[in-house]
Amino acid sequence: MPKVLGYTPAWLARPNPGFDLFAPKTPSTPRNTNGTRQHEPACPRKTMATRDNTELFVAVGNEIRWADLTKLKEAHDGVAGMTSSRSRQLQSSAGTNPYRILKVPIHYPIQQLVMSPTGDYMAVATSHTVHVVVLPDATHLESDHVAPLKPKTFQVGPTAHVFELSPIASVLWHPLGYHGRCLVTITREGVVRLWEINRSDRSTFNEPSLSIDLLKLANATNDTENLSASKFGAPKGFSPDSFELEVASACFGDFPEQEGVHGWAPMTLWIAMVEGEVYALCPLLPQKWQLKESPGASTFLQTLATSINSYYADVHEDSEATTESRATAKKQLSWLSDIVYNESVREEPRYGDSIKVYSRPSSVPACPLLQGPFTLTPEVEEFELSDIIAFTLKTLSDGADDEPAEGVPATVLCLLTDTSQVLVCLDLEGIVGRWLPSSTKEYDLSDTPDHNFMVVEIIALTNGGEPVQNQSITPDVHTDFSFFVSLSNGIFYISLESWIRKLENELSEPEKEGAEFRSKLLFEGANTLVEKHVDNPPEEITSCVAIENGNIGYLLLTTMGGEPFAIVFDAPEDGLPEEEKKIEEFLAIEGPTPDVRPVYQAPKELYAPSQLTDVLDRVVPFRHKPSLKEEVRLSPANLELLMTVHKVLSQETHQLGLAVSDLFRRCERLQGEFREQISKTAQVTQRIDAVTGEDEEGSESGSHALNAKLEDRLDEVKARQEALNARYEAIRKKMVTASGPNLSEKESDWVEELQTMDRSLDQSAERLTDDQDGSTVPAWQRINKVKAAKDNLKVTVDKASKGDKGKQAPGGVKVPSHSRKQENEQIEALLQRETALVEAATNRLRSLGISIPSEG
């Protein structure tokens, strides 16, 4: 659980350069270039993106700003330690812009910024268009030039995402894309496109490598149908599915770099519909995909192969398996064979780990089956979805004797509704690869078994239950199974870490005995941590971004009314063992918790420029502007101009009055708080003086009186402690006599030895001890075996003695000396052991108060 250390740091506040990074552009009249109306945003605005957890890209209108947060903080810390004149001189010599502007040919307000996995590209999406920007190197931030940069920019789908009426719902980068260059776009009408972009081939930006129309896929019966998106201008018939398949958001299952991630997760695309339904496409792969040579990649392939092979074996051993299950298992095995037996290409990039490049299997169709809609258990009232996030459970279990690792493709889905509720759903069955049948005669899709999601918890973030716009989910960068929810009236932190880890351990090491009881306790005690970090902000909040860096710390950054707002967290230590954490919490001294509040920011009205000049330029014609410098004459034109200016000035002065009055009230409240703190400090001082005796006046020997008073209080405390100890000893003695004496370790071993001997003589006992691994051969069986061996040995000796009777020498049998010595040592050891046991029992009885006479 992250602890809030503070709010917006000084290097992001006005008038520091970090504040200007988020400042809105100068307001101007909106320009419409093509005569069409300005479209409203169709998805939550995600106007911030990070690279390497230090570089920040911010979209302000149709402008992209780029800055290094570490350098902004270091520059502020360096200037803060100097004098005011010297700091102003350095700021003026360093340039006017603390950031660089990326000038891109985009004319509409930017709605989404999505960074590629490698950090070389950034997808920029408006309401209807998508562009890919080739990001410049970070060394451009160190140069003294402040002119805007013009990076190379490509428009993705100039005929698909411009003329098409459907707006953009989500823009994602495929986790398995070759060199991180596979872009996935999803429109509101349910069209999924994969763009395998290449800078040297412009056709990759014009036509997608794979196009899927979810409306066609939902009604398809075999894989021979055309499932690609319709061309612009093609007639579209009415279908009720067009309303149910309106996309709200989408996300991939997980990333393959994390060890323990199941193989199906990174190639599973989860799609949340506005009407509250959830669908999945698995496997969704580009033509060329890659895996980094890392521990996560090895478990990725092992879990994938184990899951497919085990499913194939189970289906063919089950005589009651359906035709759909048999066909799916056969296609999965064929799909896996294409990956395993086709040679992969190993590449050594200039930076980073080596990769293995695979081709998409050709034995099955490229378009998977649309799985869903999934049933929620128990049922939930009707709702609409705004965003979705998926977490894959790391249920990896190592195989024995060089066997591949196993895992369960279980997933936790968190669905954000329009009424600010988060539905925590658990999918224990897991999503696996499925495809359409090859023909309608193979099997019917209605035979597909139902897939249920268990609703573990419903988290209500607000009490009103009214629909809220511009909601979004931001994953946490510090811990797994944690995320932030941005609403218009606040930011919430939600963590599933407390019970998800227990569930992972239960699934990775399954035990049938007591599984139902343990799972019931686990889900009944599944308490998700929810904290509200921003409550009722004065202006609307956009989506946030989490950053963790050694120089700037662990913070959450967002914008509020065109101004930066940050929350600084204290990152918990992950490597600290649980025992040490408990000891640290126990030894922690609980004092008064400080009231952490956001730093006061002056209202923007005190810094906003006056609009009077713009109004005069707009109202007064150019030919009449020279008359403004002359003497004022009474005329209808001048009267109208004065009235217009009066409206502007009255509105601005009114806003200034409200801002100043708010500042005055804050100053009065601050004075009141100071007075209250001073009075409380005075009360504490009086109590301290009363304890130490310094409140007594006129005492000649003040130091002696102070020592005497402290000694009297110390004596009282000691007497009270001795009384408590005496009561404790009396109660302890009563409890000892009431419950009886406890057996010592030797006595417990003696009792266990007696029980073992008793069972060894009982022919009905199955084992000697209560241990499951104890001996199963009682003593009476061993005695019978010894007697039988003795009889056989006697017969053998008699036969040998009769045969060698004539050769036997006169006299008795001679026993060797070493044998007699060994027998004497064994007898002495047994006597010492019995003596020790008798002495221990005697001492124990004497300590219990039983009188035993001593020998001699």
Instruction: Give the pLDDT confidence of 422-460 residue by residue, as tens digits.
Output: 999 999 888 999 999 887 677 777 777 788 899 999 999
Task: Say whether both 208 and 78 belong to one domain.
Answer: no
The C-alpha atoms of residue 61 and residue 37 are separated, in whole angstroms, by 16
Average pLDDT on 76-101 reads 61
Task: Say whether both 74 and 181 belong to one domain.
Answer: no
Instruction: Report the pLDDT value the prediction gives residue 181, as an integer from 0 to 100.
Output: 92
Q: Give the least confident one: 37-51, 153-167, 693-707.
A: 693-707
Residue 773 pLDDT exceeds 50: no
The distance of Cα 624 from the centroid of its chain, to the nearest Å, equals 64
Residue 475 pLDDT exceeds 80: yes
Residue 802 pLDDT exceeds 90: no
Residue 640 falls in which region: left (phi positive, over 0), alpha (psi -120 to 50) or beta: alpha
Q: Give the least confident one: 524-538, 634-648, 701-715.
A: 701-715
How many separate domains does the chain show? 3
Looking at 696-854, list the stretches that DSSP marks H as alpha helix, in order from N- to C-terminal side: 702-739, 745-761, 779-803, 817-847
Instruction: Report the pLDDT value the prediction gives residue 124, as an integer from 0 to 100.
Output: 95
Which of 430, 462, 494 is the last residue in one of the domains? Answer: 462
The C-alpha atoms of residue 392 and residue 262 are separated, in whole angstroms, by 7
Task: Say whether both 139 and 170 belong to one domain.
Answer: no
Residue 645 pLDDT exceeds 70: yes
Instruction: Report the pLDDT value the prediction gives residue 850, as an integer from 0 to 100.
Output: 65
Measured in degrees and rounded to the nearest 5, phi and psi for residue 72 equal -65, -40
Residue 743 pLDDT exceeds 80: no
Show the domain range for 83: 10-25+43-153
Which residue type occupies 572?
P
Q: Are 361 and 335 in contact (CB under 8 A)?
A: yes
Q: Which pLDDT band holds residue 401 (cuts at 50, 70, 90)?
A: very low
Task: Say whether both 374 and 229 belong to one domain.
Answer: yes
Which of 417, 442, 462 is the last residue in one of the domains? Answer: 462
Task: Say whether both 48 and 81 belong to one domain.
Answer: yes
Instruction: Give the pLDDT confidence of 701-727 residue by residue, as tens digits.
Output: 556 666 677 788 888 999 999 999 999
Task: Say whether both 235 and 148 belong to one domain.
Answer: no
- Report if residue 658 sits inside a domain: yes
Residue 27 pLDDT exceeds 60: no
3-state SS record for 383-424: CCEEEEEEEECCCCECCCCCCCCECCCCEEEEEEECCCEEEE
Residue 176 pLDDT exceeds 90: yes
Instruction: Report the pLDDT value the prediction gives residue 102, as an integer from 0 to 100.
Output: 93
DSSP 517-532: HHHHHHHHT---EEEE
- Report if residue 826 sits inside a domain: no
Asked if the bond preceding 572 is cis, omega within 30° of 0, the reply is: no
Q: How large is the greatest C-alpha to C-alpha distance in the chain, in angstroms?
A: 163
Instruction: Give the pLDDT confidence of 198-230 residue by residue, as tens digits.
Output: 999 999 999 999 999 999 998 888 888 888 887
- Report if residue 164 sits inside a domain: yes
Q: Which pLDDT band holds residue 815 (cuts at 50, 70, 90)?
A: low
Q: Are 473 and 387 in contact (CB under 8 A)?
A: yes
Instruction: Report the pLDDT value the prediction gives residue 601, as an integer from 0 to 100.
Output: 77
Instruction: Report the pLDDT value the prediction gives residue 188, as an integer from 0 to 100.
Output: 92
Instruction: Report the pLDDT value the prediction gives residue 772, as an integer from 0 to 100.
Output: 46
Task: Say whether both 305 and 190 belong to one domain.
Answer: yes
Residue 485 pLDDT exceeds 70: yes
The C-alpha atoms of residue 432 and residue 429 are separated, in whole angstroms, by 9
CB atoms within 10 A of CB 742: 8
Instruction: Report the pLDDT value the prediction gives residue 40, as an integer from 0 to 100.
Output: 47
- Report if residue 686 sits inside a domain: no
Output helix, strand, coil percentages for the chain, rounded to the nearest 5: 35, 20, 40
Task: Say whether both 140 and 196 belong to one domain.
Answer: no
- Report if residue 47 sits inside a domain: yes
Asked if the bond preceding 283 is cis, omega within 30° of 0, the reply is: yes
Which of 424, 440, 462 is the last residue in one of the domains? Answer: 462
470 CB-contact burial (10 Å; exposed 0-12 / middle 13-18 / buried 19+) = middle
- Report if residue 536 sits inside a domain: no
The C-alpha atoms of residue 525 and residue 506 are separated, in whole angstroms, by 15
The C-alpha atoms of residue 385 and residue 188 are separated, in whole angstroms, by 13
Q: Give the least confident one: 52-56, 648-652, 797-801, 809-813.
A: 809-813
Instruction: Report the pLDDT value the prediction gives residue 94, as an integer from 0 to 100.
Output: 45
Task: Say whether both 231 and 326 belong to one domain.
Answer: yes
- Report if residue 258 sits inside a domain: yes
Task: Say whether both 384 and 404 belong to one domain.
Answer: yes
Instruction: Report the pLDDT value the prediction gives residue 704, as an integer from 0 to 100.
Output: 62
Provide the pairing of β-strand 182-187 with 385-392: unpaired
Q: Give the least confident one: 102-111, 124-133, 181-190, 315-324.
A: 315-324
Instruction: Report the pLDDT value the prediction gives residue 28, as an integer from 0 to 100.
Output: 47
Task: Say whether both 101 and 217 belong to one domain.
Answer: no
Average pLDDT, the chain: 81
Instruction: Give the pLDDT confidence of 298-326 residue by residue, as tens digits.
Output: 788 888 888 899 889 988 888 888 888 88
Q: Which pLDDT band holds residue 809 (cuts at 50, 70, 90)?
A: very low
CB atoms within 10 A of CB 71: 18
Nearest to 94 by CA among 78, 118, 111, 70: 78
- Report if residue 571 sits inside a domain: no
- Tracing tokens 């270091």 back to the chain, one arrives at 74
DSSP for residue 140: G
Task: Say whether both 222 and 127 belong to one domain.
Answer: no
pLDDT higher at 620 or 11? 11
